[in-house]
Structure 1
Amino acid sequence: MSKLLHIQSSPNLDGSITRTLSDEFVATWAASHPETEVETLDLARDPVPHWGPDAIRGFMTVEGQRTPAGQAAVDLSEKLIQQVEAAKILVIGCPMYNMSMPTQLKSWIDHLTRAGRTFKFTGQGQYKGLIWNKKAFVILSRGGDYSAPPASAADFQEPLLRANLGLIGITDVTFIRAEGQRLQEAPTYIEKARETIAWIAG
């Protein structure tokens, strides 16, 4: 039995492309890998708090010296980290908001990214991720087509996600893109994404 962690981040609960496509990916994967156990983390319905003073102090204070609020922030971080560690496969639905990711997903990443726990510094400007042997599939949607220059220069969504996941050790990442959702060609882009999903997950 292997575990798949499905992470939904779109706050659009009605008509979200990433919700629809990532649901389809998970259903296809589960049908073709019947030994898979699926767990869903919906960051819009069950949001992770944004980093604040309590989280900062808690992360930077040794155990036994934290305030109750700081300890609660560390406990939440540990819960989310262990959830990722227990999974073999991650499926992340992420729409592009303002050239990047939804704030809900960024908050989750902030709680995962802990020096000494999920990555360690190995030298000046060097680090090593400590979460290994994971495969991530990231379903992206964007209003425009950012697949080629000059628009690709404004795409901070995919590079940031790749860097964030790589920092903690998740470097085997496949991106499936539904480009151009505000363009006339949107149905064609969605169909191409569905074909990719069927090929990868089926």
Structure 2
Amino acid sequence: MNILHIISSPRGEASNSIKLGNAIISKLQQQYPDAKVVVKDLTHNPFPHLEEVHLNAFFTPAENHTEEHKAAIRHSNEAIQQIVEADILVIGAPMYNFGISSVLKAWIDHIARAGVTFRYTANGPEGLLKNKKAYIAVATGGVYEGDLRSIDFVTPYLKHVLGFIGITDVVFNKAEGFAMSALQATALEKGISNIVL
């Protein structure tokens, strides 16, 4: 069993999404004692935001790649290979301004590649990274339930984009209310106690 832990918070040991993600991994390791865990911290050596050179490399056949193309596409190829080798992904997703962090978005931009992780067919798009499970560790300052659910752009976006590349078995675990005085003291403990595998 190979577990890939994606970290997207720059807060290190103070990060609630990292703490929640680590708790998910701990529970997974109880089920799979021999599991290998690979940690990819996107805040250390972050993926570049897509520029012309990256897009040119993505849409140029590999046999025609120049040295510039090869350098530009290296991050993408390495990230996709990590996912291919993983059975389970644990993705830390703190909510920033109602959405995911920019480093997580940059990572997604490098792994969502036509002809590599998804393809277009006569019946519509087909994800190619199949038979994997993803656990999302979401940490939020507020509580996005009821009417406020419509402004949570973390959960629906990640569910859709992961499904688009073939990862349809996605479980969201949330720790909420870190910016709310009545909830912040117990937000992490509650989130960890409610972890679903």
Give the TM-score, by structure 1 length: 0.91
Q: Distance in 2 between matches of 1:85 and 1:56?
A: 22
The answer to whether 1:52 aligns with 2:51 is yes
Q: Which runs of 5+ in 2 are unaligned?
A: none
Show the counterpart of 1:111.
110
Give the Å deviation of 1:14.
Answer: 4.3
Residue deviations 1:98-123, cap 9 Å, x none?
A: 11101111111111111011001124
Q: Percent identity?
A: 38
1:4/1:36 contact within 8 Å kept: yes
Q: Which amino acid aligns with 1:31?
A: Q
Deviation larger for 7-16 or 82-91: 7-16
The partner residue of 1:167 within 164, 169, 175 is 164
1:8/1:43 contact within 8 Å kept: yes
1:6/1:39 contact within 8 Å kept: yes
Show the counterpart of 1:66.
65
Q: SS where residue 192 of structure 2 aligns? A: helix
Show the counterpart of 1:84.
83
Q: Distance in 2 between matches of 1:156 and 1:86?
A: 28
Show the counterpart of 1:176.
173
Deviation larger for 44-53 or 2-11: 44-53
Q: Distance in 2 between matches of 1:78 and 1:130?
A: 15
Show the counterpart of 1:5.
4
Q: Which runs of 5+ in 1 are unaligned?
A: none
The partner residue of 1:129 within 118, 123, 127 is 127
Residue deviations 1:29-86, cap 9 Å, x none?
A: 2133212111110111231111111101111112233332222222321211111011
RMSD in angstroms over aligned alpha carbons?
A: 1.5
Q: Which amino acid aligns with 1:81?
A: I
Q: Distance in 2 between matches of 1:158 and 1:69?
A: 36
